[in-house]
Amino acid sequence: MKGGGAYINIGSSSSSINSSVSGSGSANGSKMTLGKSVKMYLTIFIATTCIYMVLYQYHMSREPFSPSEIGKHQEKSSSSSSSYIASYLWSPMSLLMANNSTSNNATTTTTAATATTTTVSKVAQVQGSSFGSIQSVSLAAAATRPTQTSSSASASVGGGHKTATSTSTTPPPPPATVTSTTTTTRTTKAKKATANAAKALATSTSMSQAQAQAQYQYQLDAAHKTRPTFVAASEPPPLYIITPTYRRPEQLAELTRLGYTLKHVANLLWLVIEDANKTNPLVAHTLDRIGVPYEYMVAPMPEKYKQTKKAKPRGVSNRNRGLEYLRQHATEGVLYFADDDNTYDISIFEQMRYISKVGMWPVGLVTKTGVSSPIIRNGKLDGYYDGWIGGRKYPVDMAGFAVNIKFLRQRPHAQMPFKPGYEEDGFLRSLAPLANDEIDLLADECRDILTWHTQTKKNPPAQALNKTRYSNTNLEHIDKLLVRP
């Protein structure tokens, strides 16, 4: 019995040992299962996160950025390299794409730089002496705009010469060097080795050629969007303004008004010619103050016309003196008789610069008709409209015509007659032969009025200043500026 009990005890003990071992084994199995679950969940989480980052980076790489955003991104990435590296640690594919894009950019930059410095002379070296005559032309020149500079001298004004240096910009030619390089590459089929080398060169420069073409097209598009700037190639033809004047109370006022009108006109010489035996310091001082280039001369009326009781031919000696000056000093340009009591629109001066022989236009405030003008019918000169014809062939006002200098020099005897009322007609007759179709019609083919014969009101001479009463006052200075006959 004891022995059997012993066996029973042994069996029970062994069963208890087995049960304890199995219990510990089940505990260990549950721990292993939990660890596997945790690892699986972590793997799923990491895989999901990586897939999400890959998809996000792929989406961002496919989305186009504006230039400003790209610039900001580049600034940010360049300023903090650590954040740049950390942002790509979650996505190996994004890092690979970034490396690829960086290498592509570097390749593009290297290719562009290489293509910029690569010239056709390299092709000549590869191909041998058969292309040794090809000139070295940089591919970068296809995207530049050549500037042509030319110098020209204007005509003499007042006996002096003015030189104007100007710059004229020509539109950029198409990138012919790229085409010539490709053509040169394609023409090397004579030798197999040469053809392979040229093909490799053409392949390496294809992207730079596309960039050059794109830049050229961008410059063309930008040229249409920006306002063009025109630089004058030379000064406009010179104008010679002949102004007769004489001593009177309104003299300085009228010269001042006309002078500041002429100050707005470029390349002009003002010939102020006074009906006197000597120049007037007050007139010279006024002309200096205005600042228009001028020549101040005197041309007194002949005594026989001064003594007559009839109408006097005022301004004839002055204008003939101006014609004499122009024959001596001027070779090109246009002359115009501008009286100091008229009103002028400055646009008429720009129009008269380019007349070929004689130009005419209307003048307002003349006679009872209110205007003196050529009559234009069907685009041609068909007569004259004026309040007083008087048998004149050219019934026009003195302010209504101008003459080309070269045309005047071809008629050395042309001058103005001392015949009151017929000064304009006599001068234009002296320019014969002059056909109607040789007369340029200005002011919108004589449909506009740009000059007026205003005629300043006549004022009586100023009375003498009482120097005893107003001594040591400003009136003594002002009295010296008054013009008295």
For tokens 């045309």, name the residue.
Answer: 407
Contact 375, 383 (CB under 8 A): yes
Asked whether residue 397 is marked as a ligand-binding residue, the answer is no
> Is the four-CA dihedral 361, 364, 366, 368 of positive or negative sign?
positive
Structure tokens given for 342: 């008229």
Name, in order, each residue with C-beta under 8 angstroms of 407's C-beta and a sequence gap of 6 or more. Answer: 356, 357, 358, 431
- Residue 75 among the catalytic residues: no
Distance CA 76, CA 83 (A): 9
Detail the DSSP E strand segments found in 15-55.
none
- Asked whether 151 and 171 are in contact (CB, 8 A), the reply is no
Ramachandran sector of residue 421 (left: φ over 0; alpha: ψ -120 to 50; beta: rest)? left
Using CA atoms, how far residue 86 sits from 48, 50, 70, 75, 81, in Å, is: 19, 14, 19, 16, 9
Backbone angles phi and psi of 68, in degrees to 5: -65, -40
> Catalytic: which of 235, 424, 438, 476?
424
Q: What is the dihedral of CA 405, 410, 411, 413, to 10 degrees?
A: 100
The DSSP line for 172-241 is: PPP-HHHHHHHHHHHT-TTSHHHHHHHHHHHHHTHHHHHHHHHHHHHHHHHHHHSPP----SSPPPPEEE
Residue type, 234: S
Q: Around Cβ 236, how many Cβ atoms within 10 Å?
A: 17
Distance of alpha carbon 78 from alpha carbon 420, whole angstroms: 89
Nearest Cα to 272, choosing from 321, 207, 313?
321
SS3 295: strand
HSE-CB at 347 with a 13 A cutoff on CA atoms is 7
Which H, E and C letters describe 251-285, residue by residue? HHHHHHHHHHHHCCCCCEEEEEEECCCCCCHHHHH
Q: How many CB atoms lie within 10 A of CB 269?
A: 25
Active site residues: 424
Annotated binding site for Mn(2+): 341
Annotated binding site: 341
